[in-house]
Chains A and B, each alone.
Chain A
Amino acid sequence: MNVLFTDDNFTLFRDGFLRTVELTALSGLLALVLGVLLAAFRVSPVPPLRIFGTVWVNVLRNTPLVLLFFAVVFGLPKIGVDLGYFTFAVLALGCYTASFVCETVRSGINTVPLGQAEAARSLGMTFAQTLRLVVLPQATRTVVSPTGSILIALTKNSAIAGAFNNAELYGVMKTWNELGYKIFAIFFWIALGYLVITFAISALFRFLENRLAVAR
C-alpha cells in the first residue's frame, strides 16, 4: 500500500490523476456541446443535417473507441494534422461520447409534447428558437440523469488515452507495473483515483437533478 509514498510516486500519481480529470473535463465539455448540436441536427427539418447526425451517431456509437483512437492518433498526422497526444485524446473521447449524448438528448426532446413546439412555431419562432427556448429547457430534466452515466463512462474510457502516450492514471499504472510494484497495491490506488472522479460526477448530477425537480 505504500507504493504511493516511495520515491517520486506521489508526484507521478498526482500528475496522472490531474491529467485524467483534465481529459475527462475537456472531452466531456466537447461531448456535451457536440452532442446537443448533433441532436439538433437529427431533429432538424434540413435533410443533409439529419443525415450528417445519423451517420455520426451510427458510426461512432457502434465502433470501438480504440479504433477511433488509432484513426485519430496515427491517421491525422498522416494528413498533416498533428495536435499532440493530449488534444488527440480529447478529440477522440469527445467525438465518441458526443454520439451517446446526442441520442440521450434526442430521447429527451421526444418526451416534450409536440404541442409545445407547435405553439412556438405558431408564434413565429424559427426552428433554432423553438429548440433553444421551448423544447430543450423542458427536455433537460429527463436528460440529466442518463448524461451523468455517460460522463462516468467517459471517465473510465479516458484510460484508453493512457495507451496512446498520455500520462494519466492508466499511464501511471503502466509505469508502476513496469517498476514491479505489487499488483493489488497498484489496483487500489488507481481504482481510488477513478472512484474519486466518478463519485464527484455522480454527486454533481444528483444535485442538478434535485435542483431541476424543484424548479417546476
Chain B
Amino acid sequence: MADVATTDTTTTAGTDDLVVLTGVNKHFGALHVLQDIDLEIARGEVVVVIGPSGSGKSTLCRTINRLETIDSGSITVDGRPLPAEGKELARLRAEVGMVFQSFNLFAHKTVLENVVMGQVKVRRTARAQAEAKARTLLDRVGVGAQADKYPAQLSGGQQQRVAIARALAMDPKVMLFDEPTSALDPEMINEVLEVMRQLAADGMTMVVVTHEMGFARSAANRVIFMADGRIVEQNTPDAFFTAPRSDRAKDFLSKILHH
C-alpha cells in the first residue's frame, strides 16, 4: 500500500478513480454486447446501471472482475490493469466483491462457513478471527440467527444478504451487484435494498445493475443508462429521472413508470 498518501487527496478529479474502463468492446459471436465503453467510477461513488434486457449492463458488471473477458480496451481497478487468468487475477478478485442475481451461496456449506471460507482460504485469516468477523457481518445484514443453517433453508432475501456478507468479509474496495433483487419475491426486495442502502451510506464504492428505480433514485450518485451495448446517457438520478435527454431513455422510462 504505497499509494495511501495519494488516495487521500480527493481534490483533483480523475486521480481518485477506482475503476476505469477505456474503450471496452466485447462480442458474443456476432452480437456486439459492449461497444466502446468508457467509464470511470470514483472511490466511494455509487453507480447504478439501468437499461432494457440485453443492453449489456450485466456483462459490463461482470467484466470488472473479469468473469467476462473483453475483446479490446482496458480495465483498471485501483490503478492496476486486470491481469490475465491466474494467481494475480485471483488476488485482484479478492478486492472486488460480487453479488449475483441467483445468490450462488455454496450449497454444501453452512451460512457461517460461506462467509468464513474466503477469509480463511484466500486471505489466510485465522479461523477464530474469521468466524468472529463473519458473525459480525451476518448480524449487520440481519441474518445472524441463521448462521448454522444451510443456504437452501433460507428465504431468497436472507440468502442474498448472506451473499452480501460473504463478499464484504473480503474487505473489498468495490462491490459489484448484478441484478441482486431480480430473483426475489417482491416482499423480500426491500430487506436486500436496505442493506445495500446502508452500505452506500457507509461509503462503499458500488456498481449496481438493477431494475429498482426507487433504489437508483435514493442511493445512487450517478445513473448510467445503457441500451444496445452502449452507454446512452449518464447523469445524477434527479436529473435523469425528471429530464432524460435521449429518446431511448425517455422511451425506457415511460415504459417502466407506466405500469
Query: Could you list which residues of chain A lie within 8 angstroms of chain B, going by C-beta atoms?
Result: 45, 113, 115-116, 118-126, 129, 133-134, 137-138, 216
Contacts and interface: CB of A to CB of B under 8 A. Distances in A.
A212 to B, nearest CB: 10
B85 A45 contact: yes
Contacts of A129: 121-122
Given A116-B107, A118-B100, A133-B121, 11 more contacts: A115-B100, A119-B105, A122-B67, A123-B118, A123-B166, A124-B170, A125-B121, A126-B90, A138-B107, A138-B108, A216-B108
A124 B93 contact: yes
B104 interface: yes
Contacts, number: 64
Contacts of B108: 137-138, 216
A122 B107 contact: no
Contacts of A118: 67, 100, 104
A199 to B, nearest CB: 30
B100 A126 contact: no
Interface residues of B, number: 29
B170 A123 contact: yes
Contacts of A45: 85
A165 B166 CA distance: 58
Contacts of B33: none
Given A134-B106, A138-B108, A123 B100 contact: no
A178 B85 CA distance: 62
Interface string B23-52: 000000000000000000000000000000
A138 B106 CA distance: 9
Contact of B94 (A119, A123, A134): A123
B116 to A, nearest CB: 11
B258 interface: no
Nearest to A122: B98
Interface string B97-130: 1101010111110000000011001100000000
A122 B167 CA distance: 9
A119 B150 CA distance: 16
Contacts of A121: 67, 90, 93
Interface string B141-162: 0000000001000000000000
13 contacts: A113-B104, A115-B102, A118-B67, A118-B104, A119-B104, A122-B67, A122-B96, A124-B91, A124-B118, A124-B122, A125-B90, A126-B90, A133-B117
Contacts of B170: 123-124
B97 to A, nearest CB: 8
B171 to A, nearest CB: 11
A133 B107 CA distance: 12
Nearest to B101: A115
Nearest to A121: B93
A125 B90 CA distance: 6
B259 interface: no
Given A45-B85, A115-B100, A119-B100, A124 B90 contact: yes
A191 B28 CA distance: 57
